[in-house]
Structure 1
Amino acid sequence: MKIMQMPLGPLQTNGYLIHNEDNRAIMIDPGGDGFKVLEVLKEKGLTLEAIVLTHAHFDHIGGINEIREEVNVPVFVHEKEKEWLTDPSKNGSGKFPGLDLISVNGEVETISGEETLKAGPFIFSMLETPGHSPGSVSFYMPRENVIFSGDVLFQGGVGRTDLPGGHTDTLLSSIHEKLLTLPDETIVANGHGPTTTIGEEKESNPFLNGF
């Protein structure tokens, strides 16, 4: 399995293109610039089979329509944020001047709970990690030793909680109860900035000390 980090959209949000040796692929959080994702798929000869969302803020969903105009694939989002995909006031694109209003076209697949998600050829353990948003989900792949955390946990930081549905105590509980219990060597592939590890954040993240 190979993972390609792709900064996309107005905030250069980290999207992740994952593919296997059979050239089957999925995309996590295409935040914008869908044409770039399509170009990479073509260049590498990959077949996109699904789009998976850690949450439904505008900077994580902005490339969906452009991608699905070319490749009709399912989109997976937590049930608590399904309506956000078509509501700019909830996904945030209607709150920041100068941004295009974002409304995702087409049907989506809702997910919830802490079971497994099969997206294309890949299987994830789903961890509900609310706090940054009500339906934030982190996707863990223990064999590959990586968790896709969206905007929950960053290198030296945590997700903001001043947007609709955000809650600081809930976020910190999610991090401590769901993420920091993973092996220290687990790679945290997050939504903004460089990747980190669970062990590194336990040791040095100033937002987590003293919680």
Structure 2
Amino acid sequence: MKWTQLPLGPLQTNAYIFENADKEAIIFDPGGNGRELVSWLQDRSLKPLAILLTHAHFDHIGAVDEVRDAFSCPVYIHEKEQYWLTDPVQNGSQRFLGNEGIIVKKADKIIKNEYTLTIGSFRFEMFETPGHSPGSISYYCKEENIVFSGDVLFEQSIGRTDLAGGNEQQLLSSIHRKLLELPEETVVACGHGRPTTIGKEMDSNPFLSGF
């Protein structure tokens, strides 16, 4: 399997395309530029099997409907943020984009707890990692040594907690109890910026010391 990082949308949020040898793919957080993303996928003859959302902030969901409609693939979201997709106030788009609020159709699959998600040949352990937002989910693929964590953990930083439902202590707890328990060589596919590893952040992330 291989993965590709594509910064999309107004905040250049990282979407990730995770594909197997059969050209099947999982799409994480398609944040914008929907037409271009659909063309990118079609040009490579990729067949998306699902859209997995780490959370429902506007910059992570802007191209959801265009990708879903083009490939007839289901959208997964945590139950605590299922209604954010249709609400520009809760997903933050009204605050940051004004009249250009983002409204996305309801998700097809609602995540209610932690479990192992299998879609075709893809398998992910799902961790509830709230703090940046109440329904943040991290998707860990043990076989490929990577976790798609959205805006929970960044290179030398952590997710912001000043938006609706944010809680810094909860976020730090999520990172320490879920992500830092993963092998140190695990790649952290962040929602913004460059990917990092669990080991690097354990050693040098200034936000994680003293918790």
Q: Quick check: TM above 0.5? A: yes
1:84 aligns with 2:84: yes
> Hey, what's the Cα distance between the residues in 1 that align with 2:127 and 2:116?
9
- 3-state SS of 1:82 partner: helix
1:199 aligns with 2:199: yes
Deviations 1:97-128 (A, max 9, x none): 45621111255210122211123431100000
> Hey, what's the Cα distance between the residues in 2 that align with 1:41 and 1:93?
26
- 3-state SS of 1:208 partner: coil
Measured at CA, do residues 107 and 56 of structure 1 come closer, stay the same or move farther in structure 2, by a change above 3 Å? closer
> Hey, what's the Cα distance between the residues in 1 that align with 2:149 and 2:13?
12
Worse-matched range after superposition: 175-184 or 89-98: 89-98
- 3-state SS of 1:18 partner: strand
Counterpart residue type for residue 206 of structure 1: P
Deviation at 1:91, TM superposition (A): 0.3
Matching residue of 1:152: 152
Matching residue of 1:44: 44
> Hey, what's the Cα distance between the residues in 1 that align with 2:119 and 2:179?
21
- 3-state SS of 2:6 partner: strand
Deviation at 1:169, TM superposition (A): 0.3
Deviation at 1:193, TM superposition (A): 0.2
Matching residue of 1:167: 167
Counterpart residue type for residue 190 of structure 1: C
For structure 2, the residue ranges without an aligned partner over 5 or more in a row are none
Q: Does the 8 Å contact 1:10/1:59 carry over to 2?
A: yes
Q: Does the 8 Å contact 2:77/2:107 carry over to 1?
A: no
Measured at CA, do residues 106 and 159 of structure 1 come closer, stay the same or move farther in structure 2, by a change above 3 Å? closer
For structure 1, the residue ranges without an aligned partner over 5 or more in a row are none
Deviations 1:177-202 (A, max 9, x none): 00111111000001000000001001
1:143 aligns with 2:140: no
Q: Give the root-mean-square deviation of aligned CA atoms.
A: 1.2
1:189 aligns with 2:189: yes
Matching residue of 1:209: 209
Alignment of 1:61-80 (within 5 A): 61-80=61-80
- 3-state SS of 1:89 partner: coil
TM-score (norm 2): 0.96
Deviations 1:4-40 (A, max 9, x none): 1000100000000111111111100000011122112
Q: Does the 8 Å contact 1:26/1:120 carry over to 2?
A: no
Deviation at 1:43, TM superposition (A): 1.2
Counterpart residue type for residue 193 of structure 2: G
Q: Does the 8 Å contact 1:3/1:19 carry over to 2?
A: yes
- Count residues in correspondence: 211
Counterpart residue type for residue 165 of structure 1: G
> Hey, what's the Cα distance between the residues in 1 that align with 2:134 and 2:158?
15
